A and B are shown apart, each in its own frame.
Chain A
Amino acid sequence: MSWNTIIFGGMFILSLFIFINLSKFKASKKQLDRPDRINRFGDRKPENDIKIIRDLDENK
Chain B
Amino acid sequence: MSKHSALNTFGRSGNPAFTRNFTSNDSTLASSERMTLDGAVNKTSILLVLCFLGAGVGWNMPVLSLPGGIIGFILGMVTIFRSPSKAGSTAPLYSLSQGIMLGGITMFAETMYPGIAIQALGLTFGILASLLFCYKSGIIKPTENFRLMIFSATAGIALLYLISFIMSFFGNSIGFIHSNGLMGIGFSVFVVGIAALNLVLDFDFIEEGADKGMPKYMEWYGAFSLMVTLIWLYIEILRLLMKLNSRR
CB–CB B144/A38 < 8 A: yes
Q: Report the Cα distance A53→B208, complex, angstroms.
A: 22
* B123-149 interface (Cβ within 8 A of A): 123, 125-126, 128-130, 132-133, 135-138, 141-144, 147
Known: A4-B118, A5-B115, A5-B118. A18 touches B143 (CB 8 A): no
CB–CB B123/A8 < 8 A: yes
Q: Report the Cα distance A16→B28, complex, angstroms.
A: 36
Q: Report the Cα distance A28→B207, complex, angstroms.
A: 11
What's the minimum C-beta distance from B42 to chain A, rounded to whole angstroms? 9
Q: Report the Cα distance A19→B206, complex, angstroms.
A: 14
Known: A23-B132, A45-B212. A40 touches B18 (CB 8 A): yes
CB–CB B205/A40 < 8 A: yes
Is B6's CB within 8 Å of the partner chain A? no
Chain A hits for B44, CB < 8 A: 23
Q: Report the Cα distance A20→B226, complex, angstroms.
A: 13
* 30 intermolecular pairs with C-beta atoms under 8 Å apart: A8-B123, A11-B122, A12-B121, A12-B126, A15-B125, A15-B129, A19-B128, A19-B129, A19-B132, A20-B45, A22-B136, A25-B37, A25-B136, A27-B135, A27-B203, A28-B138, A30-B138, A31-B137, A31-B207, A36-B141, A36-B144, A37-B142, A38-B142, A40-B18, A40-B22, A40-B209, A41-B22, A44-B214, A45-B212, A49-B27
